[in-house]
Chain A
Amino acid sequence: MFRITLTGLLAHRLRLVLTSLAIVLGVGFIAGTFVLTDTIDAGFTQSFAADADKVDVVVTPDDDAEPDGNLPESALAAIRAVQGVEDAQPMVSGDAPLIGKDGKVVGNVPTAGVSIPASRIKITSGRAPSAAGEAVLDKNTAKTQGLAPGATVTVLDQAGKRQQFRLVGVFDVGLDQDLAYRGAVAFTPDTARRVTGAKGFTEIDVVSSGPSPESLRTAVAAAAGKAKVVTGRERADEVAKRNHVDTSFLRLGLLLFGAVALLVAALVIYNTFNILVAQRMREMALLRCIGATKRQVFGSIVLESAVVGLLSSVLGLLTGLGLGAAAVAVLRAVGTDIPTGTVSLSPQAIAIGVCTGVVVTMGAALLPARQATRVPPVAALRAQVEEHAFRTGVVRVVVAALFVLTGVGLTAAGVLQKPGQAALLTVMAGGVLVFFSVLILGPVIVRPLSGLAGWVPARLFGVPGRLAVDNSRRNPKRAATTTVALTVGVTLMTFMTVLTSTMRTTVGDQLDQQFPADYILSAQTGTIPRSVADTLRASRDLAAVTEFRGKKAKVNGRDFEVGTVTQSALGTAIKPEAASGTMDGFGAGEVAVADLVAKDLGVKVGDTVTVASGGRRTSLKVVAVLKADVSLLPPFTMAEQTFERHFGRVDDAQVLVNAADGVAPERARKIVDDATAAYPVVKVGSTTEIRGQFDEALDSILMVITGLLALAIVISLLGIANTLSLSVHERTRESALLRALGLTRTQLRGMLSVEALVLGLVGAIVGVVLGIVYGWAATATFTENVSFQLPIGQILLFIAASGLAGVLAALLPARRAARASVVGALAAT
């Protein structure tokens, strides 16, 4: 039997190539994921190990110390006095806002001001700071600010005064995510403390003069007092472990897409084996005639799938190695900081890749193999294998109905639920069930759908078009599996586009509501002097200047942010939405409360709350409960005079500026920029910019996801190509007959292209419908106020692209069909 299987495989090798390709790609993606994450992991581990060797003992604040609790300065002297300590270097960390080229502080958060032990700092050019007037800058900030050693850098010290330093070098922050995000200026320890005002140290690195790290650790621990003391190696392991969690997330995310690709591959394989079994009906029957048992027939097909699965998986591993290496290269090329490690396939990657490949292939071949055992021996004696007309079975309808009902039920329940993660998960579970019902009902719905999708082509392309539409629906089971494979990818793509476009408009609407302004002034640290708002208000080119102020205070005994807003802006520049009560005529002794806080404290309109701070108490009457998710106002908003009476004169936290009608944006911007020029920490943002940044972020997320989903789409196209070439093979005689009756080669090719077009369109239509419905359902579970947005252009593009891709997939099979000689095909049995 084994030999028969092998000869069978060889005879059908061409047809199996496309199938293998599906598995090769799926396994390749999974293996590639492992290669990529393993390489990153290995690189990190290597660089940690290298770091660890430079330091023998590391002292950090105790794990249960307060978040900002540092090691006391006395600890350093104590540690230095320990016998066997060659050197102990402290690490200092605080804020040192860097002033950029535009005269404003750099970034959204203050640049970090640090001191890093000389043994640890990775200088990439120049040298480490050694004198009070020297500083080094992290690589990325140096690049974006165009600063090189020799230049002068200006930072704001703890008092907000400008301090100038000579840049003597550039350093690499390595794996410190915090420093990488904020950017960092490094000084000598004393300078760092003076500039940032930081008390104590975040870390002390100890180098041994002889004793082993373990014995030194004990001695240092005794001297350091309340602190966490570990060896350099232990510390490296710890950091590596934390980093491994990060790569695990990346791995999990990528594997999810790999799983989708494999699901699609499984559908393709299932279909291929089904068709092969149908075509080899006679062969199977003959085997049964000459004495093969059902088990042997079943075994031969399963064996065939095992061989295919194994070979493809091995090829997939090689592909994965290439993919992983390419991904690493691309990541490095775009400037992502990954330590260099050698790209290799880990035993784990090999095992998982081969196992999934073989299991998926064999699993997908099981049903077709069972079908093969149903072939009666007498079939060998029949002249012609008749095509089975598909009849909708009761079981299919009942099972599908069950899936649809529970799926739709779950979805509806999720949508009606309160927005949140539970609702989203309910909707997704419903989505999976509905998808399965589509899978089961595929053969039933594919006929009317192909009629729909083929309506235009059948009228446009004459006889070949009509024949093609007929052909696309003559074997509903086959057509359904082929198209459902494409549906998977299209559904997910549509889902993502609907999600992002809805997010875009929803957030856009919220921005409009929350920031009904052209410019937003905010302070990176501290507050905005009131003179800024006064200056702006004096300009006739600006229509509205709204100030927001806030202070921490106890309200009914609990800590909250209490604030106020320019009185005249209420109801004009900002229009808070009240859930109950109103802010109309808002005045002294009144307070508006955000809904979430009101619920928390159990207060409602008409109640009285007490604000207490600095020994002062003010009682306020609640006049409005505000919808928090569309409000800019703090949890508690008081009228301006009441706020001032309680807190005294407070500077602005934020100022919103609206240009007057007809004033050019450049002009308005200049006025705002001029008014804030003297205050480097006051940053000016425009709502257009904020929205642009948000759009950009959404676009790049969508692009990455689309790219990852493209794999599933490519595999499903292989499926279309496969089904078509197998069908073409089956219909050799028919094609020959049509050619004899006067169908030209071009028309025959056109016929197959239209058939593929219809298959592609059907897959896309189902996918688009599912994607839109679930995109809508998912957004409904996000927040209360979603502005659902249907990206019609993009969706039409998906449909058109799917049809086109189908046609592309038909190119080779169609060429082969058209090339066949009429006489040869007529003679074929």
Chain B
Amino acid sequence: MTTTTQVRTAVVARGLTKVYGEGDAAVHALRGVDVGFAAEAFTAIMGPSGSGKSTLMHCLAGLDTVTDGQVTIGDVEITGLNDKQLTLLRRERVGFVFQAFNLLPTLTAEQNIMLPLEIAGRQADQALFDRVIETVGLRDRLGHKPSELSGGQQQRVAVARALISKPQVIFADEPTGNLDSRSGAEVLAFLRRSVRELGQTIVMVTHDPGAASYADRVVFLRDGLLVSEVERPTPQTVLDTLMALEA
């Protein structure tokens, strides 16, 4: 994986604007965000509640339409694509981990993990599957239904599912939001390992400074604008930046 530039960017947003509603009721969730996310790196998006984190993620992932601006994933500009094209793009290049309701209740853990590949009609890479399962440590849980798994295990299944199709980027929206701190730490460590060991690109939305400190870089949003960023964060540096922003 040699590239011409030292740091490749996996996802780029330029002048990203998102307005909900019209007229008096209009809410400007994003007001022209310029941001790039490095490939094979773990980036966190932080900001106070209502600052536009989820909106940004949805727009970057092609789940929602943008009002203005451009989003590029790899070499594809996604802002001009129609629903069908976006769906196929998500299928091929994007992985997701949501805060909750990540799994289909009728399928076993293994079936949930294999779901995106099956939807895309692709074969699983057996070596990758074994490695992913080993990393998440779920081998003895593969035949279980989601209702028989703990919250942490469910999120790990979700992460495994995102990894198995080797997407260009995984978007995670508050993946640890519903977990106790120990399970949360497990999932975060696992996310970081998949960046280091599998070369995965991950963009994670969180409002927890502790969670953000697992990332390589943290970007800060406030009122729909990118206002700051921190490289190689620690809980303390993240907290300091947040305090400075709130002031």
Chain A: residues with CB nearer than 8 A to chain B?
386-387, 462-463, 467, 470-471, 474, 733-734, 737-745, 747, 821-823, 826
A745-B84 in contact given A463-B118, A826-B98 (Cβ < 8 Å): yes
In the bound assembly, the distance between CA atoms of A386 and B106 in angstroms comes to 12
A741 near B106: Cβ-Cβ < 8 Å: no
Supposing A463-B118, A742-B120, A743-B87 touch, asked if A737 and B107 sit within 8 A by C-beta, the answer is no
> Could you say which residues of chain B place their CB within 8 Å of the CB of A734?
101, 104-105
- Among B119-144, those with CB < 8 Å from A are 119-121
A498, B61: Cα distance in complex, Å:
58
B37-45, B73-81, B88-96, B226-234: which lies at the interface: B88-96
- Please give the residue numbers on chain B whose beta carbons come within 8 Å of chain A beta carbons, in ascending order: 58, 61, 63-64, 83-84, 87-88, 90-92, 96, 98, 101-102, 104-107, 115-116, 118-121, 147, 161
In the complex the two chains form, is A741's CB within 8 Å of B119's CB?
Answer: yes
Q: What is the distance, in angstroms, from B23's C-beta to the closest C-beta of chain A?
A: 20
Give me 14 other A-B pairs in contact (C-beta within 8 A), A740-B63, A745-B84 excluded.
Answer: A387-B105, A387-B147, A462-B118, A467-B104, A471-B106, A737-B98, A738-B119, A741-B96, A741-B115, A742-B87, A742-B90, A742-B91, A744-B88, A823-B64
Closest beta carbon of chain A to B41's beta carbon, Å: 23
A743 B64 Cβ-Cβ under 8 A: no
Q: Interface on chain A toward B: helix, strand, loop, or mixed SS? A: helix
B218 to chain A, nearest CB (A): 24
Q: Which residues of B contact A741 (CB under 8 A)?
A: 90-91, 96, 115-116, 119, 161
Q: How far is the CB of B119 from chain A (nearest CB, A)?
A: 5
Report which of A462, A463, A471, A823 forms a contact with B63, defined as CB distance below 8 A.
A823
27 A–B contacts from the bound complex (CB under 8 Å) = A386-B147, A462-B121, A463-B115, A463-B118, A467-B104, A467-B106, A474-B105, A733-B101, A737-B98, A737-B104, A740-B63, A740-B98, A741-B90, A741-B119, A742-B91, A742-B92, A742-B119, A742-B120, A743-B87, A743-B119, A744-B87, A745-B83, A745-B84, A745-B87, A821-B64, A823-B64, A826-B63
Which residue among A386, A471, A745, A826 has the maximum number of chain B CB atoms within 10 Å of its CB? Answer: A826
Minimum CB–CB distance for A154 against chain B, Å: 79
Return chain A residues, CB-CB under 8 Å to B88. 742, 744
Specify the chain B residue showing the minimal Cβ separation from A389.
B147
Chain B residue nearest in CB terms to A745: B83
Cα A312 to Cα B68 with chains together (Å)? 49
- Asked if B118 and A737 make an inter-chain contact with CB atoms under 8 angstroms apart, the answer reads no
Give, as a whole number of angstroms, the nearest-CB distance from B142 to chain A: 17
B165 to chain A, nearest CB (A): 9
Which of A463, A470, A739 lies in contact with B106, CB distance below 8 A? A470
CA distance A471 to B106 in the complex (A): 7
Shortest distance from the beta carbon of A827 to any chain B beta carbon, whole Å: 8
Q: What residues of A have a CB within 8 angstroms of the CB of B61 in the complex?
A: 740
**A623–B114 CA distance with the chains assembled, in angstroms:** 83
* A470, A742, A747 — most chain B CB neighbours (10 Å): A742
C-alpha gap A821/B87 in the complex (Å): 12
B104/A742 in contact, CB under 8 A: no
Residue of A387, A471, A739, A741 with most partner-chain B CB within 10 A? A741
Q: Which residues of A contact B91 (CB under 8 A)?
A: 741-742
Given contacts A821-B64, A823-B58, contact A744 B84 (CB under 8 A): yes
Chain A residues contacting B83 (CB-CB under 8 Å) are 744-745
